[in-house]
Amino acid sequence: MKGLAITSKGLEETASIEIKELINKKCENRDGCVIFDFEKFEDLCLLCYKAQSVDRILHLIYDFEFKDIEDFEKSFEKADFGEWLKKHKKFKVECLRSGSHDFKSTYIEKKLITFINKKHKNAKFGMKGYEIIFFAYIADSHCYIGVDFAGFELNKRAYKIYLHPNSLRATISYALAKESGFKKDESLLDPFSRDGIIPIEAALYANNFPVNYYKKDRFAFLMLDLGIDYEKIFGGIDRKIIKKSKARIYSFDHLFKFVDFSKKNAKIAGVEKNIEFSRTELEWLDIKFKKESVDRIVTSPPTSKNANLDKIYNEFFYQSEYILKKEGSMGILTRMPDFVKKHAEKHNFKAVKEKKVFSGEQLLEIIIFKKKNI
């Protein structure tokens, strides 16, 4: 059987690695998504519950390329919903598009509803009381149709209550930590923590804490007649939670307000005891940490034109050069890659990896730095 993980464009590799870590199956990266093999539906349930890099998890029924709307309509009518509609009579349809098209998502949804009702006389569409969600994901000229196992956007975290105006997307924050090379027994510092998303995602990963622990009663797969003992699945995963991991994770910001936001969000996420919070100015980092004592610095520095960015970045890289281990690395998320690399160069850092990612429509770049003498 085939599964589909929808993710932010640019995070396909991260999602593929995470899927392999969680269910140990072959993956194929596509544009904005990953196709993967799975043997049992429990694998999809596990991914919905634990995966930190994905937006949706589908059982993939059918996928195809199309040239125009006429070609699209001819192709999607080959999709077979029969096996799923034998046990689930009332359905809902959703569509997500990425790219430029001469049709809207609502048009595709209506076409799918009409097609399913025409082909399966006993099936009924309903926005309420439905038993199954059929989901269409259209990325440029490719369409994927499947059963949505989550039923909600997995990238939207329940803990994101107290938000910074420039709050980061959780899936990208997780990817940034992973791209930096962060391991579960290492130290990680975010000196521009804002509302704490990067440290929280790192702590969830380090503690084996399911990212959707507090949403386990909301999954669409709970409505499916699959003969699965869901309590057994959740219980098996929950027993692997580490109450206090070996990781040392630091969430620092120069404003008390955002330190408080980080603490509150981490408490809601269930990982506040695994993060050290502090109102700390950049100038204090070499007092807080010994020389070459931090494994990973993972952050998204400010980009506001109102700030003295040259001063901030010079101090940031100066302090980072002092506290980062010789074999350590730094992961930065930015919309100003050239500006960041210019200041990094001044302080003995070289970019070893660059990756473009999309946060909605906004283009950002992940840059991984290491010290030049390594």
**pLDDT at site 265:** 98
**pLDDT at site 266:** 98
The rounded distance, in Å, linking the Cα atoms of 79 and 355 is 35
Q: Does domain 170-209+242-371 have CATH number 3.40.50.970?
A: no
Token readout for 145 is 């149709």
Domain residue ranges in the chain: 2-148, 170-209+242-371
**pLDDT at site 374:** 55
Strand-pairing partners, residue 4, are 35, 58
**pLDDT at site 313:** 96
SS3 92: strand
Low-confidence ranges of the chain (pLDDT < 70): 306, 374
98 Cβ contact partners less than 8 Å away, ≥ 6 residues apart: 9, 31, 32, 137, 138, 139, 140
**pLDDT at site 78:** 86
What is the CATH topology of the domain spanning 2-148?
VC0802-like (3.30.2130)
**pLDDT at site 244:** 87
What global pTM score does this model have?
A: 0.96
Q: What is the pLDDT of residues 67-99, one digit of tens each?
A: 888 888 888 888 889 899 998 999 999 999 998
